[in-house]
Structure 1
Amino acid sequence: MKKVFLVDDEIAIRQGIGNSIDWESQGFIYCGDASDGEVALPLIEKHQPDIVITDIKMPFMDGLELSQILRKKMPNIKIIILSGHDEFEYAREAIRIQVTEYCLKPVSSLDLLKILIKVSLKIDNEVMDKKRIDDLESKIKETKTESKDKFLYELCQGVYNTSEAIREATKFNIDLFSSYYSVMIIECTIESNQIDWIEDEFNCLRFSRKLKENIYILKGESKEQLEHATNILRERLHTHEDFNPDNALVFGIGRVEDRIQGITSSFSEADEEKNYSSIIHKYHSKETMSDIESKKELHHFNRRDLIDFLKFGSSKDIVSFSRSYSSYLQESKMHSPFTIYHFLMDFTITITHYLKETELNSLEMMQQISQIEVKASWIRHYNDTLSYMEEMLYLVTTTKESTNSKYSSFVQMAMEYIHDNYTDSQLSLQTISTAVNVSASYLSHIFSQETGITLIEYLTNIRIEKAKELLKTTKNKTYEIAEQVGYSDSQYFCKTFKKVSGMTTKQFKNFGRLQTV
């Protein structure tokens, strides 16, 4: 129902209009009246009417002056002016201040009701139009957000090269430039606004991959500064977990990288650590409250270090790594038997999950792990903790080293996949690692370790060598050759070709002709 307010200096008119219409049956509420604009203003602000009917000529403040004020302060109010003066100047001024209706006195109650119904329909139409516009804007905004999130996720997946990433970021008005990057993934059961402080306090790009999973591309001006920021985040997120055990946060943070292309590796590491954390969390969810209290001491180590050692460490480094990884247990005088037990269980579960991921979990291996694990509940001293860790790590590293050729086969498989698919402009570290069934971070590291160059450098070299062959043997244009070797951007191809070969494509063509003469 629409609320109507009347302003007229003649009491007989006010009473006549107020009593001549059955307001509620016609869909209106008569919410009040006043003798002039000055008296009317505070009452209008109080009652918030949808429609104001006002006379033009009144003492103190006339109807036009009142209408001007209402138009500025309450622009949604519809104004109907009643005038006993058939003068052009009044009508022109009423049009100028966008009065909804202008009619001459005397006006019958039936005519006034017709005008009110007309104005009421106009209000309804405006509300519907506004709702449609709001819905459309909301859908556009939602679509833009989805597209932006899709781009950032694809960036983390390694879909774009550097120039493509910058170009796409510009489309979405995303500030992608930074000296250093690190990716953090948080999977949580709490409302997302409870971690809004991350965006407020840290320089980052935030997006969602799926329900209750937030991904942050953290940015920093120096490696030290960004590593310090990730340490602070790790500590604060663990603190939240300690004090809110029912609203758990499972998260992972990747290493700091100095290039846009490094975002993929950092994302892979963060996702991997988050998956390990999820396994640990499921185990800890079965704890008693007394166990949870002791678990608060378990955030002095970074599980990422253990994962990296399992992947890349050797048996000769077991002793030094064990001491480094568990050093807080030796330094702390407050730890309880529960603390040691939980530390060793965290350690053991991480190893078990790693073995399953790398398909080293043979029946014999898992039986040996179980035999060592039995000792965990009886350990009370730091030296026994070290012995447990060393025994477990020795078992893993010796098994890994005895099957070392498997890791070389990953690299060989990656090389073969690149040779077969280098023409695909979407080829990336992520797609290659998926094809060879190993994590992107692991493939990146092992590839560099065995070949001396990064996987992306290897892919680039293959493409440029193929481009050289095409430049020598065909008359294809540069942009056509770029597409044939997997570059969707011919300018980026030319820049890369010169960087790798030391010549422009034109210079290389001319050089090739001279050699054949």
Structure 2
Amino acid sequence: MRILVVDDEVVIRKGIIKLLEQFSKSITDIEEAKNGEEALLKIEARKPDIVITDIQMPVMNGLQLIESIRVRDPEMDVIILSGYAEFEYVQQALRHQVADYLLKPITQERLNEVMSKVLLKDPARWTSQMDVDSIRVMKDTVASLVKNVLAENRNEMERIVDDWSAYCRTYGFSWLELKQIMGHFQLSFRSELLLNLKQEAGETAPSLNQAATTADELFAVWKSYLASEIARVSERRAPRNKRIVEDVLAKIEKGYGDAGLNLQGLAEGCGVSAPYLSKIFREVMKKPITQHISEYRLEQARSRLKNEASAKINIVAEQCGFNDYPYFSKIFKKYFGISPLEYKEKNS
């Protein structure tokens, strides 16, 4: 991928180049120009995929540059730089169908977001070795990988990588083509993950593809990288997961008497999926959520039988979420080693 950065201030140009390199280590072909006139010469010579240009520049400003670019190449992606005081120029530039804009001072997060949107807008432009069908399969594969990385599902992640590997082999890509395609794959994956996380994706090696000399090594490297991303997502979520579990514990404490209290309802109440809640509850509490609900109800039932002399056992069972008295009696005895009736008589 070729990118041209245009700004009359050398410090800003170098800063943007550094941010681009941080966005993806696989972006290595970056040119720079100090004004629109110089930029046009480099566009003619190098034909960049993306132009990032300032608006206020001597000799030829950014708006004039964009107009000239549109005459030569209506499809070229242009990202404009602007200060808050120049936003009226941004509005003018938007009429020339620029891809997006960056307000100064430019942050890594905002540049990542803009670049991700540009790259994901039309993957076909970056994947000349692939036909429409293989591009569609790649997009679906990337989306599935991101989904399962976010779900921290390592087994499914590995299955998806294996399926993509098999597809590439069946398609008959050469080793060089495969490395180029996986370069696009890496950019697409990191861009998709970044937009979903709203935070920079984890660091990768300079290029995942450079670390391999065979297809088997290449996909093994990818599995290792994706496993590290899953671990990073899990670590990032740990404090949030603990808060969710604490919220669930409070809901169980308050609603244990409701026989309909279950995993699905608790998950919906916390705004997460049932499988995800089941997973994080087990990680934090070291036991399944259903076991905790049952144990909490039994402890409450025992307390009532001990402290409420007039309480009837079947009523206590219902008040603690057990509609089936024989079942309540059975698990009470299994948990405490004594039946509810024996326990009540012993503590009367």
Q: State the TM bucket, normalised to the shorter chain.
A: 0.3 to 0.5
Structure 1 or 2, whichever has the larger Rg, is 1
TM-score of the two chains, using structure 2 as the length reference: 0.46
